């Protein structure tokens, strides 16, 4: 099958913006905005921050943002801890792991949530059309592609397997960037993929099918990801963290109530074909973190061995 299909659906472009210092320690000149770098992933999950920039929610709070793109949240965590980025977007399991390992990270804003509707979520566990795999339980001994390893994909997929009556310890995971997964599935390189939009549409375009809505299986109205910063930044510049949190809350609320504008802004930082954008299932964007769902993720990650000890959820969340 053609490897360029996913590239046609999504070829990320960087948001043009002024650069800022790597450590973020320099005080802005009087009357000048704080310049910050935020690490994001080039997927529709981060549409609210792009929309918030467009709407001026950050400008109103004297924040000038550069958005830097990475393959996954696990790569963004060390960049925030080191001060390369002042804030970052990451899945909750990567943040739980980082926090439990003693990394000084703190969630400052919700990122996005599952729709909570089985079969109608923005992400799915998928196989190709002629696969003998019918349910997640059939993944025992099979290989599943994840954008990065030891993150929310592992946890959610294993819960789908468990819920379907299978043994989650018998599932293998391999790391593949989201854009490479549809072609890898079509060619038989992997047995299944867990993809978010628009790559869900790419798999469907190749005739693939969903076997589980793993985010829905993990927890009701799951908080999938969040924006976070370092404890160092919180100590050095709590006012900046507060203003960023306020701007993100406004951005999330606006995105949740303006889905048409979310679809429009997605076109500004990706090259998803317009006809595909219209088909996308969007996440939900509540301003508040679903704390109960994060606690459930922490329990699942501990059960599956991604955490070596129980996570202190309250220490991580706002």
SS3 state at 36: strand
pTM above 0.85, yes or no: yes
| pLDDT tens digits for range 60-84 | 999 999 999 886 666 799 999 999 9
Strand order in 34-40's β-sheet?
A: 63-69, 34-40, 87-91, 223-230, 105-113
Q: Is the pLDDT of residue 20 over 60?
A: no
Q: For the chain, which domains are there?
A: 4-115+221-316 (3.40.190.10), 123-218 (3.40.190.10)
Which of the two residues, 1 and 81, has the higher pLDDT score?
81
> Which H or E run includes 187?
helix 181-187
| pLDDT tens digits for range 231-265 | 999 999 999 999 999 999 999 999 999 999 999 99
Q: Is the pLDDT of residue 10 over 60?
A: no
Cα end-to-end distance, the chain, whole Å: 45
Q: Is the pLDDT of residue 18 over 60?
A: no
Neighbouring residues of 193: CB distance < 8 A, sequence distance ≥ 6: 125, 126, 144, 145, 176, 181, 182, 184, 185, 199, 203
Lowest mean pLDDT among 17-26, 99-108, 192-201, 210-219: 17-26
> Which H or E run includes 174?
strand 172-175
β-bridge mates for residue 223, sequence order: 113
pLDDT of the residue at 268: 86
Which of the two residues, 317 and 268, has the higher pLDDT score?
317
């Amino acid at each position: 099958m053609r490897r360029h299909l996913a590239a046609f659906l999504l070829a990320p472009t960087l948001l043009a913006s002024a650069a800022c210092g790597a450590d973020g320690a320099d005080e802005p000149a009087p009357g000048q905005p704080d310049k910050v770098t935020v690490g994001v992933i080039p997927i529709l999950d981060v549409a609210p921050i792009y929309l918030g920039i467009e709407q001026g929610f950050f400008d109103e709070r004297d924040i000038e943002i550069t958005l830097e793109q990475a393959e996954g949240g696990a790569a963004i965590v060390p960049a925030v801890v080191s001060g390369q980025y002042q804030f970052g977007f990451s899945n909750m399991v990567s943040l739980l792991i980082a926090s439990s390992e003693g990394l000084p990270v703190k969630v400052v804003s919700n990122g996005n949530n599952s729709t909570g509707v089985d079969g109608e979520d923005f992400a799915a566990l998928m196989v190709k059309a002629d696969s003998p795999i019918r349910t997640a339980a059939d993944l025992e001994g099979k290989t599943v592609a994840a954008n990065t390893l030891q993150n929310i994909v592992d946890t959610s997929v294993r819960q789908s397997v468990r819920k379907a009556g299978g043994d989650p310890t018998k599932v293998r995971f391999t790391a593949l960037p989201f854009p490479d997964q549809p072609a890898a599935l079509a060619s038989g390189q992997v047995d299944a993929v867990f993809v978010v939009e628009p790559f869900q549409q790419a798999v469907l375009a190749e005739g693939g099918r969903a076997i589980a809505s793993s985010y829905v299986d993990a927890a009701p109205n799951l908080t999938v990801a969040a924006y976070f910063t370092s404890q160092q930044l919180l100590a050095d510049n709590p006012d900046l963290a507060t203003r960023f949190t306020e701007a993100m809350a406004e951005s999330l609320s606006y995105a949740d109530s303006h889905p048409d504008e979310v679809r429009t802004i997605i076109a500004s930082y990706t090259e998803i074909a317009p006809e595909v954008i219209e088909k996308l299932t969007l996440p939900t964007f509540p301003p508040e973190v679903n704390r109960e769902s994060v606690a459930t993720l922490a329990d699942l990650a501990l059960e599956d061995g991604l955490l070596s000890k129980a996570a202190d959820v309250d220490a991580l969340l706002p």
